[in-house]
Structure 1
Amino acid sequence: MDLNNLGVNFLEHADVERGFVLHNFLLVFNNTFVKSNNARFKSFFEKNRNINKWMVFSDYVLDDKNKPNDVVTFSILPYTEDFFTLGKSIDKLSFKDVKKLKRVKKEFIEFINNSEIINISFIISKKRRLDPLNEKEMLITRYKMAINQIKVWISNDADNKEYLTLLKNYELMLSEVCKPRANLKYIRDIEIVSSLIAYLIFQICNEIEIEVIGWFSDRDALLSYKAAKLSKPIIFDMAHNLYHNLSFNKCEGYKEKFVFGLPEREGKVWYDSYNRIPDLIAATLADYDYENNEISHSKFKPVVEKILTNKEKNIIYELCLDGDVFSAGVLDLAVSCDN
């Protein structure tokens, strides 16, 4: 669904008192999404129209100075088998640590290609900003508006503990960005990833009838941000609020449930085997210098040639968020690469 037809608000330093608004970069991406390669996205879900429970797993390679690209990958799977049984099967086919991996098993590549999985990846500018004019002021405005909206909810339902927790979380975010030398690195990426996952979940729910769809993120700095002061990752709140905003504007009585997998703070994550799918794809895209058709390690070559070039199952977007004007486009990779 085109957001231009939905009637939602985007943040452009407008003097709006309250509410949850969308980032301007999301409108730029939306304009590309609804026009470019949307047929692949629609075709995948049309083939799986009879399935109403879905899972999205994600991984990221961000701010690695030794890699040419910053990447966010979402791997979308239907829930058709026992979760832990399939997880054990993936565990046997895959790997423990992609950084220490010498080669990717042929069976794992075949599993990804032959299974009903669609991978949506984003290559994002390394020197990214959420606003080309004044990023900090934009975030302050954004969080003040959210706080004002939550206070309205509380005034109508004072005993709602979720609203009280949400208010506390957004007040924490506001205090962080208001600091004289605020470090916006993680806040920026939390805003980007939460916006992208909420948008994708919303679009999936527009393609087919969904009962429930879950997001299972890799455990990293985006989830652990201010963990000592938060009951759950703030990125979940942001994603859910945006998803609710989009869904409510389409239909006030929407019933599609968007849920989250909460990883353990230490030790092995209970859905770790599934995350090796986006882990492999994100690691490969981060390493792949697609302009010069080069990779740093031979282990990535079959991933590029056999997975990423499978256009029906992999859609790669470029998000340019480092200039005066944001832009988005689709990247289709060549059949072979050099190393």
Structure 2
Amino acid sequence: MSIDSYRFVMIPMLPVLMQATKSARTTMAEWFDCYPPRYPWMVASDYCIGDINKPNDVLSFVIIAPHDTADNICEYIAGAAPKDLKNTKNIPVGLMQYLTCEVPVTFSISFVLKRQEALLRAHLKVENMLDFVPGAIAYLEHRLEKYPAERTVEVHEEMVTRFKAFGRELASKNLNAKLARQMHLAAATSATVFNNLNLAKQPKAIRWISDRDALIARHDAVVYDLTYVYYMLQAEIHAMGEIEAGRTVPTTQADLGFEIPEQTGKHRYDEIVRLPDYLAGTLADLNNETMTLSRDKFDVVLNNVFVNSKTNWVVQLLSGEGLVTARSALFRGQHQRRQ
């Protein structure tokens, strides 16, 4: 069954995201060249979405190489940066050094939308998101039939149950459409990061560690199911284009593992999530027209992490004339903060 036979709300955006991150993917492959394929990798994410006092909505992802254990990385960050960005006044040097280390241990991609884009509301319409549900279920049924070893029937049925619950919410009068759009954006952008990592390093597995957030908790973390569907679809779309162009593509996809944050208390990997937290918080504050920031601490992160960096990328999402476009950017030169 062809991909074109499904009605997916974000399908037109998936190849756009892959094209916008092509240069980042090439740089990532070169940066992480010392690591052999079939290793397990981690990706940490955090989001700054819906803050009316910020000019941007941001989804940040930090890819962490298999250079040490998660526990040891947590221990280092706990000592270097004991607080998140919101609760710190002075940016810890140790955290910035980890994000810009001369040894290849991290690589980040952040997706930025101006707040007036309203999470691409003109393109992520409720009726389209509702249409997505039966299409996604059909796609899962297709993959279960074609690749029965990919997941058990029990796991498949649990995914279908979560999708149906999401569909009922989309059809209800009490729908939180903004949150639903956040979930689709988080799924599409995370799938893009995972596919870039898969193409660059052919990892055995990717563990996704996300901050505790409403979009993660909704319907027993159905956003992970959305991500899985987008991850597989995007890989198929990209592979078809590469094969048609006479290029080779990896024959395997990394297994995705999703870390479910605790609903209360301390996040088990709170320290690791602190990495994308500093990135998302800084980019959310950046005025795209004047290139100004509201506080010195954001300026410190921008200048010491993003400016002149080849390993901390920004992708800006734009909409207009019925299309969603994306472009990648790197900050050059020394940024000067203006009030």
Q: Residues 163 and 121 (structure 1 numbering): CA distance in 2 closer, same or farther, change over 3 Å?
A: same
Q: Which residue is equivalent to 1:121?
A: 110
Indicate if the aligned counterparts of 1:320 and 1:327 stay in contact, CA closer than 8 A: yes
Corresponding residue number in structure 2 for 1:223: 216
Checking the alignment, whether the CA contact within 8 Å between 2:59 and 2:280 is kept in structure 1 is yes
Between 307-316 and 247-256, the greater mean CA deviation after superposition:
247-256
1:221 CA drift (Å): 1.2
2:132 pairs with 1:142: yes
TM-score by length of 2: 0.84
Deviations 1:145-181 (A, max 9, x none): 1234456678998x92222212211111111222246
Letter of the 2:83 counterpart: K
Shift, 1:190, TM fit: 0.7
Q: CA deviation at 1:321?
A: 3.6
Structure-to-structure mapping, 1:7-26, within 5 angstroms: 9=3, 16=5, 22-26=10-14
Counterpart of 2:3 in structure 1: which amino acid? N
Equivalent residue in structure 1 for 2:294, among 293, 296, 321? 296
Paired residues for 1:28-107 under 5 Å: 28-34=16-22, 36-49=23-36, 52-107=39-94
Residue 232 (structure 2) pairs with residue 239 (structure 1): no
Shift of 1:337: 2.5
Give the 3 Å change call, closer, same or farther, for CA 150–100 of structure 1 in structure 2: closer
Distance change in 2, residues 1:41/1:225 (3 Å): same
Closer/same/farther in 2, CA of residues 176 and 330 from structure 1, 3 Å limit: same
Deviation at 1:242, TM superposition (A): 2.4
Task: Please say if residues 112 and 316 of structure 2, whose CA atoms lie closer than 8 Å, have aligned partners that are also in contact.
Answer: yes
* Mapping 1:164-203, distance limit 5 Å: 164-180=157-173, 182-203=175-196
The alpha-carbon deviation at position 310 of structure 1 amounts to 3.6
The corresponding residue for 1:204 is 197
Contact 1:75 1:119 in 2 (8 A): yes
The answer as to whether partners of 1:51 and 1:79 remain within 8 angstroms in 2 is: no
Q: CA deviation at 1:266?
A: 0.6
CA RMSD in angstroms comes to 2.9
Counterpart Cα distance in 1 of 2:57 and 2:320: 13
Match of 2:285?
287
Segments of 5+ residues of structure 2 without an aligned counterpart are 240-248
Are 1:336 and 2:335 matched, yes or no? yes
Change (3 A) 1:276 1:134: closer
Give the SS at the match of 1:76. Answer: strand
Shift of 1:33: 2.4
Note closer, same or farther for the CA distance 1:323–1:98 as it changes in structure 2 (3 Å cut): farther
SS at match of 1:197: helix
- Kindly tell me: are residues 20 and 287 of structure 1, through their superposed partners in 2, closer, same or farther at Cα, counting changes over 3 Å? closer
**Inter-partner Cα distance in structure 2 for 1:28 and 1:149:** 21
Aligned residue-pair number:
320
Q: Answer yes or no: is the 8 Å Cα contact 1:128–1:321 preserved in 2.
A: no
Q: 3-state DSSP class of the match of 1:99?
A: helix
Aligned identity (percent) is 22
Verify the 8 A CA contact 1:264 1:270 in the aligned structure 2. Answer: yes
Q: Cα 1:8–1:56, aligned 2, differ >3 Å: closer, same or farther?
A: farther
8 Å contact from structure 2 (residues 62, 109) kept in 1: yes
Instruction: Determine the C-alpha separation between the residues in 2 that align with 1:47 and 1:210.
Output: 13
Separation in 1 of the partners of 2:91 and 2:336? 16
Pair 107,129 (structure 1): closer, same or farther in 2 beyond 3 Å: closer
TM-score w.r.t. length of structure 1: 0.84
Q: Does 213-222 or 44-53 show the bigger shift?
A: 44-53
Shift of the 152–256 alpha-carbon distance from structure 1 to 2, 3 Å rule, reads closer
Greater Cα shift, 212-221 or 145-154: 145-154
Q: 1:234 to 1:270 in 2, by over 3 A?
A: same
Aligned residue number for residue 256 of structure 1: 254
**Partner Cα separation in structure 2 for residue 165 and residue 141 of structure 1:** 20
The whole-number CA distance in structure 2 between the counterparts of 1:130 and 1:24 is 13
**Contact persistence 1:125–1:322 (CA under 8 A):** no
**Shift of residue 62 of structure 1?**
0.3
